[in-house]
Amino acid sequence: MFVGLTHATTRGDLGRAVLEGVAFALADGQRALLACGTRIERVTVIGGGARSRVWGRILASVLDRPLHYSHGGELGPAFGAARLARLAVDGEDAAAVCTAPAIEAVIEPDPALRARYQEQSEAFRSVYLALKGRG
């Protein structure tokens, strides 16, 4: 659901709002993990989202964590599935097959965006809680 649309809202605004909404939802998940005592050492980006540095900048700023981009990370899910199949078929040692790829880039949180997103994240949570269970 989009909130606060005006006649001046563009397709680009809507696209960015989707990315920000997903980032806010991931931040809620991160908060839940941290509240349970989970220690998050590194956030690595894989899959199709690894192709977009704009998405990475948004996500790093919302999560307030650096994002690590692995070499070939856009293929990470398929590569992981292939490794699991290899383990199942060949019975090889998991430590030998499942090696970590080299880090290609790191995107740090943007302090200006981080401050803006903290405020927007609170609004997102308020709207989400108000609408939760409707429809």
Q: Where are the domains of the chain?
A: 11-129
The segments of the chain whose pLDDT lies below 70 read 135
The per-residue pLDDT for 76 is 83
The per-residue pLDDT for 134 is 72
The per-residue pLDDT for 21 is 93
- If one looks up domain 11-129 in CATH, what number appears? 3.30.420.40
- Euclidean distance between the first and the last CA atom of the chain, given in angstroms as a whole number: 11
Question: Residue 102: what are its φ and ψ, rounded to 5°?
Answer: -70, 145
pLDDT in tens, 6-45: 999 999 999 999 999 999 999 999 999 999 999 999 999 9
The per-residue pLDDT for 91 is 87
The per-residue pLDDT for 135 is 59
In the 8-state DSSP scheme, what is residue 47?
S
